Every structure is written in structure tokens, then in C-alpha cells.
Structure 1
């Protein structure tokens, strides 16, 4: 892996670590409520278990990206970047929030392209 690959892997991993914190720790706090556009604190409380579950899955994505950096396995890196890319597409489509595509999918796609160059 070259420096550019590692930069993109690290960036995407950091984004997902931040998402983990938002979904598992800050979901019911003002930052989480604002970030995810939740309608109320009560709604956030009612859905915090679901959000924590989502956060756990985002943690697995971050762990896979970090593992690929440590192991220097290109196939593992591309696999996890592809997972993030697809998750971003689905997240943007299912929530009708295009910013998810730009936050998740675009950095992952750039990471994949860095491996193909």
C-alpha cells in the first residue's frame, strides 16, 4: 500500500469512528439530534437502541479498514471500502439525505480509485 491508499483508508476509518460516537454515545444529546435531524429528544430516546446497533455496524466497518491498514492487505481494504461505498448509497437513498452519499460514498470511492491507479 502506498501513502495515498493509507490516507484514504485512515480518512474513511476516522469518519466511521465519528459516526460510531454519534450513533452510540451522542444520539440523544443535542449534537446527535441535530446531526441526524431527529424530530425530538423523546424520539431520540425511543430509537437509541436502533442507533446503537447502527453504530456497532459502523464500528465493524472502521475495524475492517484499520485491519486492512495494519495487515497491508489490498483485497481487504478494497472490500471494506466497497462496503462503505454501498452503505453510503443505501443510506442516502433510504433516508432521502444526499449528504450521506458525499460523507460516506465519495471518500470510499476515492479510496478504491487510489488502489486502482
Structure 2
């Protein structure tokens, strides 16, 4: 079960890397900012610095998850699991905050939060520290 949890956690991290790319690298493309419910180019230009910053938050969470997965894989189970759990929890809580900003963000919050939540549940179901 821990292998499946690790794969789901890695998918959550990959998703957050993709969000980083959209927010911090490709934000100037209308096809990207429209995905984030930005209404026009002027609003995209105004929100570009915020999106750039937010994208890096997503990247750092992804890096934390990847480092935790590697640490777990090389035998540092407690350290790796702690780091993975922390970063996944931050991802889920960010999705909760996103929902709190309005009902129109429910879909985005589900996309952002379902993989890390599933990984957390799988981690608890696998009981990895007792094996």
C-alpha cells in the first residue's frame, strides 16, 4: 500500500510542478490565465506578480514531497514520511483555502487537493512506520 501512496504523492507533486509552470512561466498566455478565471489581459498583467509568487509556492511544495519520497526510499522512513505528510497536508489546506474564496473555485480546489488527500489516506492505511 505504501508504494501506491508514494505514487499518488508523486502525482500530487507533479501536478504542483505543472501549476508552477502555468503560474510562473506561462502566465502571459491567454490559454493559461483563462484557466485561473482571469477575465482579460489587463487583469492577467496586474495579477502576473502574484501568480509568479504563487507558482513558486507550488514548486516548493512539490520539491518537499519529492525530497520526502526520496528520503523514505533510501531508508530515512520517519524523516521522509514527515516531509511527505507535511507537504501533502499543505497542498490539501491550500485547496481548502481556495474553496473558501468562492464556489467558482471548487473544481480547481478538487484538482489541487484530491491527489494529496488520497495520498494521505493511503499513507495512513498502509501504516508504514510499523513495517
Does the TM-score normalized on the shorter chain lie above 0.5?
yes
Alignment match, 1:110 = 118
State the number of aligned residues: 117
Normalised TM-score (structure 1): 0.93
Structure 1: gaps spanning 5 or more residues: none
**Corresponding position: 1:16 with 2:23:** no
Superposition deviation, residue 21 in structure 1: 0.7
Superposition deviation, residue 101 in structure 1: 2.3
Normalised TM-score (structure 2): 0.83
Counterpart pick for 2:95 among 88, 93, 97: 88
Counterpart pick for 1:99 among 107, 112, 126: 107
Superposition deviation, residue 116 in structure 1: 0.5
**Corresponding position: 1:3 with 2:11:** no
> After TM superposition, what 4+ stretches of structure 1 lie above 4 angstroms from structure 2?
none
Structure 2: gaps spanning 5 or more residues: 73-79, 126-131
Superposition deviation, residue 63 in structure 1: 0.7
